[in-house]
Structure 1
Amino acid sequence: MESRLIGIQLLLLLLLGSVESAFRAHRRYTPDWPSVDSRPLPDWFDKAKFGVFVHWGVFSVPAFGSEWFWWHWQGQRAPAYMRFMSDNYPPGFSYADFGPLFTAHFFDPEKWADLFQASGAKYVVLTAKHHEGFTNWPSPVSWNWNSQDVGPHRDLVGELGTAVRKRNIRYGLYHSLFEWFHPLYLFDKNNGFKTQHFVTAKTMPELYDLVNRYKPDLIWSDGDWESPDTYWNSTDFLSWLYNDSPVKDEVVVNDRWGMNCSCRHGGYYNCEDKFKPSSLPDHKWEMCSTIDKRSWGYRRNMVISDVADEAEIISELVQTVSLGGNYLLNIGPTKDGLIVPIFQERLLAVGKWLSINGEAIYASKPWRVQLEKNTSVWYTSKGSVVYAIFLHWPENGVLNLISPNATSTAQITMLGIQKDLKWSTNPQKGLLIYLPQLPPSALPVEFAWTVKMTGVE
């Protein structure tokens, strides 16, 4: 009788599960924010934790100031940019003249993908189109201003996607909704965005083309701040993306779909560039940061003091993941398609650190406490396992943790070192962990060490 009851219960659970999955499969999202925002975020994104962002385009040719070169030069007419052009290029040289110089001559997607894999990145986001309007794929609505017609004469989006996916890395595409100087956009803007000529002729055809052609795992939208989501028809696109597109079950999007959307609507939240919350947000988020602190695109005039060091990058990664976020770290390749050695070195340093400490990062969840007050210890968790990542090695070799309550069965180890660590508790000081007495060269990593704890509450 008992076994029969168990059988009936199992059958009911299976039926409920299939009904639930059928409901999910047939659920239709309507083109409004309450419906679109109700879609669950595919879980691959939260598990991934770390990605690489790539800003690459015609702006990589002048490689001066930032990827906003064209705007600073022609939109703002900033003196430094005007002087740069008069010093380096002939009179009458236009931004379009940079196009043929964007050669990508040394672009080897396999080598890029190898580097991204070695960095420990679980997803890569490439700029398909920045605010300059140049598309890194043969967009049918960007005639003679795309990477097939001009410059490389190659489908950069497609080539990198193929290489990245061979290595089981998720592939995302950055796409700017607006373009600084496109005549149709300027026409709509002058009309107070009451017309949508640019949206129907350019933005939406490109987005649908990108999705159908490349089936991205992630769409990183940008260029949203001048006009509302109703101008962009954002909810129409997103409802199609979630209902009928070839990536409807796996695709992830961010929150930049109109001037009123950031940190409020969409998939996960970026909120703003280099966003750092002070406490655990109640919504999945991502911090995008850049190795060159002054620019997202490559700059010829970058100096070493502008470059984030390994400890800064790993510290940002740890803090972001501890607070439930993903960390998207940006590089800017050269016009030739090279990733300069300093960027390679930083990415490889992250990969080396993750090869030891990735257990505390990938697929982790925030713990009940995210950081120790007044110290540099950050927590993550996986089920009943708690990880404490400490950014500074204590001078006395004893790690003092207030938050975890150790039970009699507690076991504590350091990732990268086999044997258990000794520990004790103190009514005033809490948990005391006696770190291995090793010379710095024998430690598994140079900074940000992880203590793994089981049997703590």
Structure 2
Amino acid sequence: MAGFTKREVLGVPLAAAFGLAQAPASVGARQVSAKIASGHFDSSVESLNRYEVPSWFADAKFGIWAHWGPQAVPRQGDWYARFMYVPGHPHYDHHLKTYGHPSEKGYKDIIPLWTAERFDPEALMAKYKAAGAKYFVSMGVHHDNFDLWRSRHHRWNAAEMGPKRDIVGAWKAAAKRQGMRFGVSEHLGASYTWWHPSHLYDQFWPMLGRSYDGSDARFADLYHDNPAEPFINTPQSWYTKNTAFHRLWFDRISDLLDTYQPDLLYSDGGLPFGETGRSLLAHFYNSNIARTGKLEAVYNCKQTGSGEFHRGAVVQDVERGVLKGIQDRPWQTDTSNADWFFSDSHPYKSAGTVIGLLADIVSKNGNLLLNVTLYPDGSLPPESDRLLIDLAAWMKVNAAAIHGTRPWKIHGEGPTETRDGMFQEDVAYTAQDMRFTTRGNSLYAITLGEPRGSIAIASLAAGNPYDQRRIRQVTLLGNPAALDFRQDGSALTVALPDRLPSRLASAFQFDFA
């Protein structure tokens, strides 16, 4: 998803822009019945609420995502395929100057330009693993309705067009060779309404009334046959009520699942389309059990949009934000180190920012899924490469405080606290901010900045209400010697060595008698 501005409605007839246009009367008139693999789950809410999050996901803590596809080609960032059809938006202006008017040169003409000529999934996956990622997620299909696998149901796919390569299959093979869990993301559910602007036209000279190429029936399988159901800035318009599209969604995403058998599926929104979405989820879970002997599958979706959200049946995803306090079930933040698709102008997150975000999320029983932005050709921008190098150096020292850990009694202490919910990730942490994790008999405190001289942890003061065990030893991960410490009624104070073993943040280990 992304934010919206007033420019969203420019070039859209007023009735459609404000949600007054209605879908055809036949839409939503019948239920979609979907065949699902037999097994433990059916499409009822009661059945799906028996789901339990597998331990591999709770242990993993950190995954990397390739949110990558043809929309990277213009180098303008996220949602290019939509906003190139919205006059007044920078993407429209860029497209007009670079490629031509969207009545003649539309998104269909961008797809052949995505050749991914420098895409080396093996080399990239080795970097991702070194950076601490325990799972990798490939884009399956974005809102642009372009499948990144050898689709059985859709001619607009990467094996037949653009790179002419099975991108999802290549990513999976590389992930499995590195011993990493593999996932796929689907953004297809919102595509039907998201693509609506491609069916419109300029409302000013010199192209007044000239229809964009989305109105051309020859390309209806890319842009959808949707002249009257717009997506505007409301959750209710995120998913269409068109049951023919529901069926198409089920067929294509079940093809993705059956062909690549991922460990994780992510939907960009709530669980789509009621009974149809629940049927897909049951199919995913049952197929996974049949293949592995136990339930290892993870499904991520958001508690937002017009889709369903059954907390007991899914792993909640929070886009570019976090949750407050320790959660009783594992959850996930998804974010990017820059824009979702490559942009020449978008700023990048530093390694310190990513580590602070990761530590905060893990302390609250969550995982971080980080998109590492790729150039259109499949190579790493220098900023993305630098981030992976910095994360690898930090993880080499401090991974024990992240992977396989669980929350402590409280998630942390310090002057800085995050806000709850999506798009709330921008926080400036200090070295006085700490986040706690546990593993076995050890407690870890991760500073969210570079400490100097000593650290004082009020939560471990003598007589604290959280842990009355006697502290036997304090160490700093990456430092061979035990550290001097003093515990009194105000804090546990730990003296630091002259030289810290890692930059950006430090992880202290407390072992108890």
Into which bin does the TM-score normalised by the smaller protein fall? 0.7 to 0.9
Q: For structure 1, which segment, 29-38 or 411-420, has the greater mean C-alpha deviation from structure 2 after superposition? A: 29-38
**Structure 2: 5+ residue stretches without partners:** 1-37, 196-221, 231-236, 416-431, 463-467
The equivalences for 1:2-17 within 5 A come to none
- 1:398 alignment partner AA: S
Q: Is the 8 A contact 2:300 2:315 kept in 1?
A: yes
Provide the rounded CA distance (Å) in 1 between the counterparts of 2:314 and 2:83.
31
- Which string of whole-angstrom CA distances, capped at 9 and with x for unpartnered residues, describes residues 369-421 of structure 1? 211243401110012210011124454x2211122257555111110001111
Equivalent residue number for residue 481 of structure 2? 419
Q: Is the 8 A contact 2:352 2:449 kept in 1?
A: no
- Which string of whole-angstrom CA distances, capped at 9 and with x for unpartnered residues, describes residues 115-160 of structure 1? 11121100111111000011111112211x1111111111011011
Give 3-state SS (helix, strand or coil) of 1:213's partner: helix
Give 3-state SS (helix, strand or coil) of 2:58's partner: helix
Give 3-state SS (helix, strand or coil) of 1:347's partner: helix
Q: Is residue 2:158 matched to residue 1:114?
A: no
Q: Normalising by the residue count of structure 2, what TM-score does the alignment of the two structures yield?
A: 0.75
Provide the rounded CA distance (Å) in 1 between the counterparts of 2:363 and 2:128.
23
Q: Is the 8 A contact 1:178 1:224 kept in 2?
A: no
The equivalences for 1:42-53 within 5 A come to 42-53=54-65
Residue-pair matches, total: 412
Equivalent residue number for residue 287 of structure 2? 244
Give 3-state SS (helix, strand or coil) of 2:83's partner: helix
- 2:278 alignment partner AA: T
Provide the rounded CA distance (Å) in 2 between the counterparts of 1:32 and 1:223.
20
TM superposition shift of 1:86? 2.1
The equivalences for 1:211-230 within 5 A come to 211-224=257-270, 229-230=273-274
Provide the rounded CA distance (Å) in 1 between the counterparts of 2:312 and 2:301.
6
Q: Is residue 2:217 matched to residue 1:206?
A: no
Q: 1:40 aligns with which of 44, 48, 52?
A: 52
Equivalent residue number for residue 277 of structure 2? 234
Give 3-state SS (helix, strand or coil) of 1:127's partner: strand
Equivalent residue number for residue 71 of structure 1? 82
Equivalent residue number for residue 447 of structure 1? 504
Give aligned-pair identity as a percent. 27
Equivalent residue number for residue 162 of structure 2? 151
Equivalent residue number for residue 407 of structure 2? 366
Q: Is the 8 A contact 1:255 1:266 kept in 2?
A: no
Q: 1:288 aligns with which of 334, 343, 353?
A: 334
- Which string of whole-angstrom CA distances, capped at 9 and with x for unpartnered residues, describes residues 166-219 of structure 1? 01011110111231335657379589955411121x211111111111110100
Alignment CA distance shift 1:275-1:408 (3 Å): closer
Equivalent residue number for residue 186 of structure 1? 226
- 1:288 alignment partner AA: D
Give 3-state SS (helix, strand or coil) of 1:403's partner: helix
Provide the rounded CA distance (Å) in 1 between the counterparts of 2:359 and 2:471.
27
Q: Is the 8 A contact 2:69 2:376 kept in 1?
A: yes
Equivalent residue number for residue 151 of structure 2? 139
Alignment CA distance shift 1:115-1:141 (3 Å): same
Provide the rounded CA distance (Å) in 2 between the counterparts of 1:50 and 1:122.
6
Provide the rounded CA distance (Å) in 2 between the counterparts of 1:67 and 1:409.
49
Alignment CA distance shift 1:373-1:187 (3 Å): same
Provide the rounded CA distance (Å) in 2 between the counterparts of 1:107 and 1:140.
24
Q: Is the 8 A contact 1:242 1:249 kept in 2?
A: yes
Q: Is the 8 A contact 1:49 1:362 kept in 2?
A: yes
Give 3-state SS (helix, strand or coil) of 2:486's partner: strand
- 1:435 alignment partner AA: L
Provide the rounded CA distance (Å) in 2 between the counterparts of 1:455 and 1:223.
44
> RMSD of the alignment, in Å?
2.4
Q: 2:341 aligns with which of 274, 297, 300?
A: 297
Task: Pick the structure with more helix per residue.
Answer: 1
Alignment CA distance shift 1:97-1:398 (3 Å): same
TM superposition shift of 1:78? 3.4
Q: Normalising by the residue count of structure 1, what TM-score does the alignment of the two structures yield?
A: 0.84
